[in-house]
Amino acid sequence: MATSSSSLFKLAREIGTAVSQKKGGGWYGPHMAAATRAIADRMPLVDIILEVRDARIPFSSEFDQLRNHHPFSSSRRILVLNKMDLASPTQFKEWITFFDQQNCPSFGVNSHNKDNVKEFLKFLQAHVRNLRKSDYDASSDTVTVMLLGIPNVGKSALANSLHQIGRITAAEKGKLRHATVSPQPGETKDIYSLKIASHPNIYVLDTPGILPPEIHDVEVCSKLALTGAIGDSFVGGKELAQYFLGILNFSDEYKKWAKFSINQINKPLTLHHKADQSSGSESGMIWKRQNPTDHTQV
């Protein structure tokens, strides 16, 4: 059933309102309160802050605690837009441009893409070298980087990838450590330290995801619920599924592939013969359309 823009907006408001009305946050348990204090204590001791946001909702996934803390200079804070493979390429480029205009260093990351993580590590190391040339204490042999972000933006996955690739690049031996990774928000409850580079030594602190006790913006609430920053139990799986399908129906990608699929249905099937050169059997005959319909092949 098609979803109108007005009904989609209404559904988003209902989901956001249901989340925002959870007094005391609902999601803000004792472990999150303790993590908030622990992060505040360690933040003045780190050299660089990596604020990890969800590339699909870079505004709604802002780390609220940074607003209430002594602001880091732009040279000591990098905005990491994770899950860029799930975001709209066009909108993602617009966000990168926007943050550049705000003099906020940013980098798009897919934590599960080794080449991309390797490029990000090089970017981070170059950033560290520039700091050491300017106001950073070059006599120090160790640089500490802290990953900050709301739940389920991929901080632990990024920390693990940086640790693995950094150790391989430095040809270091020894057992790899692993931060806990889960599709459910709130799994990381402690602060872990992982080495990600040498010369100088760079350590990354993986921290628990933190949300404010209350979120009053219903639009932000609905987006956080949809992307998994807030558990489904606070909203309901059926409502979230309807909201997701409604957004999907309005997306440019969906319209493009829907049109492509309709065109493919009307194309005749042709028989292509793929001869087995060794036996001459007909087992190599395959049926396929004139053009591939699986978008992964295009």
Same domain for 124 and 9: no
- What's the rounded mean pLDDT across residues 111-136? 88
- What's the rounded mean pLDDT across residues 191-216? 89
pTM attached to this predicted model: 0.74
Specify if 118 maps to a domain. yes
Share of the chain above pLDDT 90, in %: 32
| Residue-number span of the structural domain to which 190 is assigned | 27-206
Contacts of 59 (CB under 8 A, 6+ apart): none
What is the Cα–Cα distance from 128 to 48, expressed in whole angstroms? 8
Which of 192-196, 257-261, 268-272 has the highest average model confidence (pLDDT)?
192-196
Instruction: Output 46 or 135, whichever has higher pLDDT.
Output: 46
Same domain for 123 and 9: no
Same domain for 95 and 8: no
Instruction: Output 89 or 256, whichever has higher pLDDT.
Output: 89
What is the Cα–Cα distance from 63 to 71, expressed in whole angstroms? 13
DSSP tag of 189: -
The domain tally of the chain equals: 2
Specify if 82 maps to a domain. yes
- What's the rounded mean pLDDT across residues 92-102? 93
205: nearest Cα among 220, 219, 190, 223: 190
Same domain for 139 and 67: yes
92: nearest Cα among 102, 101, 83, 105: 83
Asked if 19 contacts 240 with a C-beta cutoff of 8 angstroms, the reply is no
The amino acid that residue 285 corresponds to is: M
Same domain for 119 and 197: yes
| Helix intervals (H) in 170-250 | 218-226, 237-250
